[in-house]
Amino acid sequence: MATGIKDKVAILGMGCSKFGERWDAGSQELMAEAFEEALADAGIERKQIDAAWLGSCMDAVNIGNSAIPASTALRLNGIPFSRVENMCATGTEALRGAAYAVASGAVDIAMAIGAEKLKDTGYGGLPPPFKGTFNDMWMPMASAPAGFAQLADGYRAKYGISKEDLKRAIAHVSWKSHQNGVHSPKAHFQKAVSMETIMNAPMISDPLGLFDCSGVSDGSACAIVTTPEIARALGKKELVTVKSLQLSISSGQETAMNAWDGSYVPNTRNAAARAYKEAGISNPREQISLTEVHDCFSITELVTMEDLFLSEDGQAVRDYLDGVYDASGRIPCQIDGGLKCFGHPIGASGLRMAYEIYTQLLGRAGARQLKAPSLGLTHNLGGVPYLGIAGISILGLL
């Protein structure tokens, strides 16, 4: 009987590039930035890395297929190096590959690196998606915000919430992240924004305005993992270990059957239930210190709090307006600014979230440091709420 990977994998070092409109850097430079920091933090040489995983998502504007662009950029010669892609869960997927390699005993030290260069498109927002030769035949050519905006209708209908109340609650989601971004030196956006500005921003996809959408940024993040034993042997005293790493992917039930009411994301619930079980968490509301969740759009974050069982169903609007997820709240969310302000270079995002949790757990977060966190959760949502990928990691002090 499988027992999961709880505490079998320790983080030896992490790195994260400055996120933003990095006109100065391509994916190669961004990766080098994150890699050098992670290597220094781990206190090892690159030749000690036994295997590596690269997460990179968009083909249209990036480094191209395979892990070769990464092995070349980082000069990691001759080791097993794989490129993985699972939409917005790509970074978490890379971490999963590295963690599983260590947990299985196949290697001693593994690396996960995620990178995305989005600002080579020539325009704002993500490139239009290619959904596959068959799906492109029938699926609407809608943008990512249009996919996530569907949640608003479903959520409002289920809980009888007015358009105005929901708009205010999701505006609070973004407001809170902008407040946090101010203290996040590597974040893309480090400026507070008023509720009024958020509420009155131009509409992107009803009800999501400009400030309900995350930043489109360039960036890279990197994790080097090993076993707790090796980490200690290498001189690490305070260890952050992986408590759980779970993915859940839709088989199309939400879109093709009528059980789903459009108010929640079944994949997040599946992945969360499994992640809590793997980590031995019985009461997430009490046990989770902080979260970095997939706030690609404000409505996503709001619904995610219920899907992670941190808010009661139908109560996320109230919880947000009550400040439960603010920096000073019970379970701070996006203390580094989240996708909204730190930025969302797709392949890097899962690892960026892990970087913040790791940083917070080790007490290195400077002006945004939370008081004695012990367990942090990362959450990615790839694809769209009704046909997607949820990736969750829980990291904690050993």
> Which residues in this chain contact another protein in the complex, by CB under 8 A?
121-123, 125, 127-128, 133-134, 136-143, 145-146, 149-154, 157, 202-208, 251-253, 255-258, 262, 386
Residue 97 and residue 83: Cα distance in Å, rounded? 10
Q: Give yes or no: 88 in active site.
A: yes
Q: What are phi and psi of 306, to 5 degrees?
A: -75, -40
**Strand pairing report for 203-205 and 208-209:** antiparallel
Torsion of CA 312, 318, 320, 324, to 10 degrees: -70
CB of 239 to another protein, least distance (A): 43
315, 333, 330: which is closest to 175 by C-alpha? 333
173-204: burial string, b at 16+ Cβ within 10 Å, e else: bbbbbbbbbbbbebbbbbeebeeebbbebeeb
Residue 291 and residue 289: Cα distance in Å, rounded? 7
| Candidates 172, 294, 344, 379; catalytic one | 344
Residue 315 and residue 309: Cα distance in Å, rounded? 11
- Taking the least distance from each CB to another protein, the nearer of 250 and 378 is 250
CB of 287 to another protein, least distance (A): 33
- Taking the least distance from each CB to another protein, the nearer of 64 and 363 is 64
- Taking the least distance from each CB to another protein, the nearer of 105 and 202 is 202
- Taking the least distance from each CB to another protein, the nearer of 143 and 315 is 143
Q: Are 219 and 116 in contact (CB under 8 A)?
A: yes
Residue 170 and residue 174: Cα distance in Å, rounded? 7
- The answer to whether the Cα torsion of 86, 92, 95, 100 is positive or negative is negative
| Candidates 88, 213, 222, 333; catalytic one | 88
Residue 62 makes CB contacts below 8 A (sequence gap 6+) with 27, 56, 116, 117, 120
Residue 99 and residue 35: Cα distance in Å, rounded? 17
Extended beta strands in 9-142, E state: 10-16, 51-55, 81-84, 110-116
- Taking the least distance from each CB to another protein, the nearer of 23 and 134 is 134
CB of 56 to another protein, least distance (A): 20
**Strand pairing report for 51-55 and 110-116:** parallel
- Taking the least distance from each CB to another protein, the nearer of 228 and 343 is 343
- Taking the least distance from each CB to another protein, the nearer of 260 and 318 is 260
- Taking the least distance from each CB to another protein, the nearer of 146 and 182 is 146
> Hey, what amino acid is at 120?
D
3-class SS at 193? Answer: coil
Please report which helix (H) or strand (E) contains residue 246, including its range.
strand 240-249
If you compute the radius of gyration of the chain from its CA atoms, what whole number of angstroms results? 19
Length of the chain: 398
Residue 179 and residue 201: Cα distance in Å, rounded? 17
The two three-digit tokens of residue 263, written as one number:
């108010």
CB of 246 to another protein, least distance (A): 23
CB of 46 to another protein, least distance (A): 38
Catalytic residue ranges = 88, 344
